[in-house]
Amino acid sequence: MIKDFVPKIKIELDKINSENELMNLKSKYLGKKGELTEFTNSLKSLTIEEKKVQGPLINTIKKEIESLLLNKSKEIKRLLIDKKLSDEKIDISLPSRGNRRGTIHPISKVLIDITKIFSEFGFEVFDGPEIESDYYNFESLNIPTDHPARDMQDTFYLGNNNLLRTHTSPMQIRIMETNKPPLKIISPGKVYRCDSDVTHTPMFNQIEGLLVDRDVSFAHLKGILNEFIYRFFGSQIKTRFRPSYFPFTEPSAELDIEWINKSGEKSWMEVLGCGMVNPKVFESVKYDSNEFTGLAFGMGIERLAMIKYGITDIRYFYQNDLKFLNQF
């Protein structure tokens, strides 16, 4: 009897708990060779009158079976999710491992601090190339051919008259070539010299400064640099300007700060080079040195960082030792 299918399937459904078994059951009854399909086919021989009675009945039974199967499928899926949820339980009471915070590299920190101070003074910041020509690095800056800086021992030559810049001063020329005076700029960046010991690395960072205007004097140079040192190191620090020589400035000076050395004695420590722009440099960029004067300075970032943070070996900066870097 067609009606017997429903209770029979219900009993079988109760034993099933996977989609696979459900598929098998479905094909067992509703498939091409399924029991219900065969039963339906066997009705072909009935008379039209009998078919009118049996036809709708079969359809109702079929629908009922289909809905039974569908409900079972839903139930299996729900059970599967429940099982997954209970198996993959996360213990939210476990303490977390904590985040490790990165720190700013001391060189970057000092660069940011210095740039900020000069920006407050109204200086604009410019970037420049690390591969330079002999002309920009030396010649235009009035550095004669026999100057020691040109020696193979100091400069990394790249051939074709190119080299790795040995200082940021070529940026003075590049900026003056493309800008009319007055101007007030700084230019931080990497420089290279063939040198390596506790106070020298083959690559280090400098900041170049240049101010060109009418009536710029050595007093302006002293004022700006003193104020810079006070802001960078704190107002207690003592400075002194000592005569020096650079081919691209005339007169030239070095700025020293008072410093307590390892044995606890007061001593002077050189922190930067500076001077009034040499008229020969203005000639290179066709500035009229009767109308304009300029002041320039250049400082080593690593050196300033070493003084500020009491670091004794410059190589610490580039060894990427987290114990060192995490202090900043």
Residues within the interface to ligand DAH (CB under 6 A): 167, 169, 208, 246, 249, 273-275, 296-298
**Which whole-number Å values give the CA distances from 198 to 193, 260, 302, 328, in the listed order?**
14, 19, 12, 20
Least Cβ distance, residue 163 to ligand DAH (angstroms): 14
User: Going along 134-238, which residue ranges are E strands?
Assistant: 157-159, 162-164, 183-192, 203-213
What six digits make up the tokens of 14?
């109760």
Residue 275 CB, nearest approach to ligand DAH (Å): 4
Q: Which residue is at the shortest CB distance from ligand DAH?
A: 298
Q: How far is the CB of 178 from ligand DAH (least distance, A)?
A: 18
How far is 74 from 97, CA to CA, in rounded Å?
40
Instruction: Pick the closer one to ligand DAH by CB: 29 or 192.
Output: 192
Least CB distance from residue 169 to ligand DAH, whole Å? 4
Beta partners for 254? 242, 273
Residue 241 or 328: the one with the smaller Cβ distance to ligand DAH is 241
| DSSP summary character for residue 196 | -
Minimum separation from the CB atom of position 277 to ligand DAH (A):
8
Q: Do 256 and 268 touch, CB atoms closer than 8 A? A: yes
**Token match 């996977």: residue?**
18
Beta strand spans in 97-234 (E): 124-125, 131-133, 157-159, 162-164, 183-192, 203-213
Contact 301, 110 (CB under 8 A): yes
Give min distance, CB of 103 to ligand DAH, in A: 29
**Pick 25 or 255: Cβ nearer ligand DAH:** 255
The nearer residue to ligand DAH, 166 or 316, going by C-beta atoms, is: 166
Could you tell me if 277 and 249 are in contact, meaning their C-beta atoms sit under 8 angstroms apart? yes
Closest approach of ligand DAH to the CB of residue 246, in Å:
4
Which of 111, 274 has the CB closer to ligand DAH? 274
Element (H, E) at 67: helix 48-87
Nearer to ligand DAH, 61 or 249 (CB): 249
Query: Smallest distance from the beta carbon of 230 to ligand DAH, in angstroms?
Result: 20
Contacts of 146 (CB under 8 A, 6+ apart): none
For ligand DAH, give the closer residue by CB, 25 or 175.
175
Tell me how far, at minimum, the Cβ of 271 lies from ligand DAH, in Å: 11
Do residues 221 and 295 make contact, with C-beta atoms less than 8 angstroms apart? Answer: yes
Q: Residue 207 and residue 17: Cα distance in Å, rounded?
A: 75
SS3 state of residue 255: strand
Give the closest residue to 190 by CA, choosing from 248, 135, 108.
108
Residue 167, amino acid: H
**Complex with ligand DAH: residue 245 or 309, whichever CB lies closer:** 245
Identify which of residues 29 and 248 has a Cβ nearer to ligand DAH in the complex.
Answer: 248
Q: Nearest to residue 257, comparing CAs of 274, 272, 276, 275?
A: 272
